A and B are shown apart, each in its own frame.
Chain A
Amino acid sequence: MAPARTRILRIVLWGSVALLSASLGGAFLLREYASRQPHNVQVSGEALVRSKFSLVDHRGRAVTEVDFSGRWQLVFFGFTHCPDICPTTLAYMAGVLDSLGERADSVAPLFITVDPVRDTVDVMAEYVSAFHPRLVGLTGSPEQVAAAAQEFKVYFEQREDTAAPNGYLMAHSGYIYLMRPGGRFEAVFREGDQPPEALAEEIQMRIAKDDRQ
């Protein structure tokens, strides 16, 4: 082989190696990017989770999911006797709403109590207003709350504890649900998995993606 052709061959071969490395690296970066945004959360039976409820808001009005249709919903189940994770999560949700800015108009933030006997309308009103002016508190009869929790597949239980106020402690799942306008499930998040600004960005992205479709 003539030296010139060898050189060309060498350039072509090294060129292919470089191209292959670049595309592999690119694919890897793309996968990393895709897996980070939107945030991957493993959930089973997502299609079964839906927003469907008949409850009373913190202003004393009877509401159902229809009152929030046309908006996305950010839903958290908790209770006001919960000293740590509930205020922490609601403060996190408030941070998300602040970061959403004007976009928060298209998201209804709902805090549904799993302790309706103690969390009356008045208690809910005082409680939610401490976190964010947009936050909606929902309570109801124990049956109404149990039915709502059932639709969201939220688990909660009362445990006897003589040391706790009123003799019981509540245990519950600490997920924040993002529901689509119309009430279908979109995603779940946990407080602390990402900063509130990042979650706000993710929600915006999901809404924007939906608007394009």
Chain B
Amino acid sequence: MKLLAGMILAAALPYAARAEVAVTDPWARASILASRPAAAYLTLTSDRADRVIGVTTPVAGQVMMHGVETDGAGVSRMVPVDALELAPGVPVTFAPGDMHLMLMDLSRKLEEGEHFPLTLVLETAGELTVDVPVLGPGATGPAGE
């Protein structure tokens, strides 16, 4: 029993020892017109407090983090988020109809089935690049959702 506990601890140690930023389910919606902005979504979890201070990708001239605020009259406004706070262990989700990454000045149309790299710049953890699959224009999330 002791041996088993020791083994589990040994297996867990390498993960516990270094700060981890996990990105899950990244995806972008295919763009219909190259001249229109596209949106990308993902879930981000950091095991320590950190801040996302920038997002870049070679397919877009500019990437903005956008929140959505809906007032009492049902009017939705996109609100640019300059720096996104990450609390330790609390997942932050970008999802349709909510917070999203707005990809502007696309160099080309994002076609369904392709992938592109997206780099998140974190204040403490540094840069993190993920591979983002492009789903159809009518997609609401990665398969299974």
Contacts and interface: CB of A to CB of B under 8 A. Distances in A.
Q: Does more than half of chain B's interface fall in helix, strand or loop, or is it mixed?
A: strand
A92 B32 CA distance: 16
Interface in A103-144: 123, 126-127, 130-131
Contacts of A92: 140
Contact of A84 (B32, B97, B139): B97
A186 interface: no
Interface in B94-145: 96-98, 100, 102-105, 137-140
Nearest to A95: B138
B4 interface: no
Contacts of B98: 84
B32 A80 contact: yes
The interface size bin for chain B is: 20 to 34
Given A83-B100, A163-B64, A131 B138 contact: yes
Interface stretch (A5-13, A52-60, A167-175): A167-175
Contacts of B29: 83, 87
B130 to A, nearest CB: 19
B68 A155 contact: no
Contacts of B68: 84-85
B117 to A, nearest CB: 19
Contacts of A83: 29, 36-39, 66, 100, 102-103
Interface string A67-99: 000000000000011011101111110110000
Contact of A174 (B37, B38, B66, B76): B76
A130 B66 contact: no
B32 A130 contact: yes
A80 B76 contact: no
Contact of B33 (A123, A131, A163, A192): A123
B62 interface: yes
A197 interface: no
Interface string B73-87: 111111010000000
Contacts of B33: 80, 123, 126-127
A163 B66 contact: no
Contact of B96 (A81, A84, A175): A84
A155 B70 CA distance: 12
Interface in B48-90: 62, 64, 66, 68, 70, 73-78, 80
A85 B78 CA distance: 10
Nearest to A98: B138
B124 to A, nearest CB: 26
A133 to B, nearest CB: 12
Contact of B137 (A87, A156, A164, A174): A87
29 contacts: A80-B36, A83-B102, A84-B78, A85-B76, A85-B97, A87-B29, A87-B39, A87-B137, A88-B97, A88-B140, A92-B140, A126-B33, A127-B32, A130-B32, A131-B138, A159-B77, A164-B104, A165-B37, A165-B105, A169-B77, A169-B78, A173-B73, A173-B74, A173-B75, A174-B74, A174-B76, A175-B74, A190-B74, A191-B97
